[in-house]
Structure 1
Amino acid sequence: MIYRPYEYQRTAMQWILDNPRCGLFLDMGLGKTVSTLTALQELIDECEISRTLVVAPKKVAETTWTTEAAKWNHLQGMRVAKVMGTEKQRKLALAEKADIYVIGRDNFVWLVGLYGGQLPFDVLVIDELTSFKNSKSQRFKAMRIVTPTVSRVIGLTGTPAPNGLIDLWGQMYCIDMGQRLGKSVSKYRESHFETHSWNNIVVRCDVKKGHEDIIRNSIADICLSMQAKDYLQLPDLMMHTVPVELSPATMSAYNKFEREKVLEFKQEHEGEPTNILANSAAGLMNKLAQFANGAVYDDDRNIHEIHSEKVDKLAEIVEAANGSSVLVFYQFKHDIPRITKKLKDYRVEVYEGEKQLLEWNAGKIDVLLAHPASTAYGLNMQQGGHYIVWFGTGWDLELFQQANARLHRQGQQHPVTVYKLIGANTVDERASASLENKKVKQQSLLDSLNYLIRKHTNGKG
């Protein structure tokens, strides 16, 4: 296929050429991958670089970079090696003669160890830069070691600060080693944010008045930001909240289950440090969300089906799609067999990798079940359909936005309709509201936990 870049893509390519260490904060669907590959090809042609390492989410590493390189005529000579599979397979891939080496981010720490912290690459591309926002994570610490060893770093993301500007520090450090936002996250936080603590643990950071512009201006010389709405005529994205009413008996059972779990939680986790408490709260909310979805795991991971209201509502939406394919995001593995059983008259597939992606885009799948974490980044799925159903939304705003952008992106020919199945009067409502209000995940979980404790202790807890 002949590549005819849009003007904004030319701008993105030139940005990479002009800035050895740069960030491309391009909205989902603006073609970050092909723009980056084209710029890399020009650098190869000019003999400025020879080997590039791309670190990407696993599913993106498996498909997106090789697919894009093979798709365009001007990239046909580019050799892409996938550093995937067993350790032996990864080492064999690294030994191949190639221009681009693509590795999943989960193996990045291994790679850094393999090379003793000195990467033998000219360029490091960090696809989904937000994966490195947590300065305490092992992958960030590994990135911190190797960033100085390469001459060019390109950070790619569509959502650099989904949970607030506090997320920018780790990402920018991966690019410029602290030149713009400082050498430590604590100093960055102290300089630009008002912090709110609980038990001496910071749970929320609000940017100081006037400092949003200061932060953005400090990184503007190397970070190019573009939003799809400014450059693309994308079809509409229509969001529908679909209340799922539980029967009186099921609602009574849910309320009993919620009360028991909340009081049990309060007794077990009284006085727990906030950072640990947030993780524990996520476990509690997951249990309640399982019930809202229609089944729960017991302590031995056995599945107990409770109701079918959500799968029944999903079946109505699939039928109303009238032959159009439907992408369904599930939360829990026990959602899969119940959905598959209910939709037995349709071709239902679970997304696992490239095979399902190709068949989906070819229109061969009626209903594709996918966990949002497995499809959130980089995958082009817009050819396969324009209906999305969230069987349960979860609390992660970034995953929610990125997953919806698998269909709502450049090349989509139809308005995209998103249905959120929300169990009425259940924890689903609080999770959905958290996403709509763009709240930080940890704070939303803690707020919801406090709400439930007050609710079930008559305001005394």
Structure 2
Amino acid sequence: MKLKYEQLHEYQLFCIDFILKHPVAGIFLDMGCGKSIITLTALWLLALDYFSISKILVIAPKRVAEDTWSREFGKWEHLYGLKISKVLGSKKQREEALRYKANIYIINRENVVWLVENYHWDFDTVVIDELSSFKSNKAQRFKALKKMRPKVQRIIGLTGTPTPNGLLDLWPQMNLLDMGERLGRFIGGYREQFFLPDKRNREIIYSYKPKQGAEEKIYKLISDICISMKAVDYLDMPECIFNRVEVFMDEKEKELYSQLERDMVLTIGEDELDAVNAAALSNKLLQMANGAVYDENKKVIHIHNRKLDALEDLIEAANGKPILIAYWFKHDRDRIKARFNAKDIDSTKDITDWNEGKILVALIHPASAGHGLNLQEGGSTIVWFGLTWSLELYQQLNARLWRQGQKHTVVIQHIITSGTVDEDVMNALERKDVGQAALINAVRARIGGTFNESRNDV
């Protein structure tokens, strides 16, 4: 059964009207608020009712481009008449998709540079699904799209997390929307106006912090073209329960961990681990907490099975209820698959099988499946086998199940190895204090066993 226009929520109708009235629109809606259907409805009206636009480019994460937009398109009766072409796959397939006569062309963000360099730009409207993936002004995709921005009449930026690592992330996103009208044409000017140096080592500045009152000023500057809403304020969201499942290493395993933590180097038999800086140390400590670690030659060194044992207990306790397992390192995935009958969520078919209840234990990587995928029909339990410092990826993956349409209480389990960097990451995620600075602060105190104030270059 297809859904009708009348079944949209009132706040969704408000957002549609906002897009219609604003050629530049930032739709900063929380996960599960229906950014795709809001945008598709507005595009239908603009293209087939008002006739004010003709050729639309949607830029999205790869799997969202492959699955979510076409799936959403097929669910709604009132979108009849719009034609979609997916500019995906091989070079030949992308070229054929661009020749096909359609209203909306959907491309994954990795191919934006290719599109700009190889195609005569004739898109009058651009939608950037997950605008925060354009948060780096140094990225080639940002530079390519910025070059084409003056040719675009209408632009819509969609995201639930516009500032995942701080307000500096906002400038590139807003620059693509309004070409520098509100936050300035150059990031240096934006930084000078609203920020102060934070972490530094003499002349080298590692991070910036907002000046007093800067956040309010920035939000006021962009408020005329941006809408921000949280799902809990507008949707009947299911209950969400967050749990920690603590595991403990034995004395031998703890000693291996502590030695690497203390000395930044560790020898295990003929294998040697060496962490050159705080980021590398955090990475290796997280791996050891999970139960295995790569050496310098990418060989997997086994440390313990504590998390695998805990995962087995969680799967058994689920008693046939589907579980979505989030992993971070490839060796974690390999060890999980070697022990359990787990299926990767990789393709559109995998997503369909999960939502139809055909997969009981699923594996998913936050970086490849965090944005846009609707998985709430297939289950309501997430197990974080390994954690990430990225608040954005953490929140986005949780929102695959905790979103509108979920019929059950969502349970999010975190398997935490006691006395390890797992605890630092979990605490940072709960405080929403994440990113490079939090990582360095958490790990720096461990190097050499004591906090060393002079080692700001770590």
TM-score by length of 1: 0.92
CA RMSD of aligned residues (A): 2.1
Q: Tell me, what secondary structure is at the counterpart of 1:328?
A: strand
Provide, for residues 306-363 of structure 1, a one-character-per-residue CA deviation record: whole Å limited to 9, x for no partner: 211101101111111122101100011111222123224xxx2011121110000001
The one-letter code of the counterpart of 1:58 is K
- Number of residue equivalences: 446
CA distance in 2 between partners of 1:141 and 1:390 (Å)? 35
The one-letter code of the counterpart of 2:177 is I
Which residue of 2 is the match for residue 62 of structure 1?
A: 66
CA distance in 2 between partners of 1:304 and 1:96 (Å)? 51
Q: Do 1:262 and 1:453's aligned partners in 2 also have CA atoms closer than 8 Å?
A: no
Unmatched tracts of structure 2, length 5 or more: none
Q: Do 1:262 and 1:452's aligned partners in 2 also have CA atoms closer than 8 Å?
A: no
Provide, for residues 58-91 of structure 1, a one-character-per-residue CA deviation record: whole Å limited to 9, x for no partner: 1111111111111111123321111111111111
CA distance in 1 between partners of 2:190 and 2:395 (Å)? 27
Q: Quick one: which of 432, 445, 460 aligns to 2:439?
A: 445
The CA deviation at 1:292 is 1.1
The CA deviation at 1:459 is 8.5
* 1:153-164 pair list within 5 angstroms: 153-164=155-166
Which residue of 1 is the match for residue 249 of structure 2?
A: 246
The CA deviation at 1:210 is 2.1
The one-letter code of the counterpart of 1:139 is R
CA distance in 2 between partners of 1:390 and 1:8 (Å)? 32
Q: Do 1:393 and 1:428's aligned partners in 2 also have CA atoms closer than 8 Å?
A: yes
The one-letter code of the counterpart of 1:81 is S
Which residue of 1 is the match for residue 85 of structure 2?
A: 81
Q: Do 1:379 and 1:406's aligned partners in 2 also have CA atoms closer than 8 Å?
A: yes
Q: Tell me, what secondary structure is at the counterpart of 1:334?
A: helix
TM-score by length of 2: 0.93
Q: Do 2:261 and 2:447's aligned partners in 1 also have CA atoms closer than 8 Å?
A: no
Whether 1:295 aligns to 2:292 is yes
Q: Do 2:382 and 2:398's aligned partners in 1 also have CA atoms closer than 8 Å?
A: yes
The CA deviation at 1:18 is 0.5
Q: Do 1:234 and 1:410's aligned partners in 2 also have CA atoms closer than 8 Å?
A: yes
Q: Tell me, what secondary structure is at the counterpart of 2:429?
A: helix
Identity of aligned residues (%): 47
Q: Quick one: which of 206, 211, 219 aligns to 2:222?
A: 219
Which residue of 2 is the match for residue 2 of structure 1?
A: 3
Q: Quick one: which of 400, 423, 434 aligns to 1:429?
A: 423
Tell me: CA distance 1:223–1:262, structure 2 relative to 1, closer, same or farther (3 Å): farther
Q: Quick one: which of 140, 143, 146 aligns to 2:142?
A: 140
Q: Quick one: which of 305, 310, 320 aligns to 2:307?
A: 310
Provide, for residues 416-449 of structure 1, a one-character-per-residue CA deviation record: whole Å limited to 9, x for no partner: 1111111111121112222122224110122133
CA distance in 2 between partners of 1:101 and 1:459 (Å)? 53
Most deviating of 253-262 and 75-84: 253-262
CA distance in 1 between partners of 2:55 and 2:245 (Å)? 49
Which residue of 2 is the match for residue 125 of structure 1?
A: 127
Q: Quick one: which of 366, 374, 381 aligns to 2:375?
A: 381
Unmatched tracts of structure 1, length 5 or more: 270-279
Which residue of 2 is the match for residue 406 of structure 1?
A: 400
Q: Do 2:127 and 2:155's aligned partners in 1 also have CA atoms closer than 8 Å?
A: yes
The CA deviation at 1:398 is 0.6
Provide, for residues 226-252 of structure 1, a one-character-per-residue CA deviation record: whole Å limited to 9, x for no partner: 111110120122111221111222112
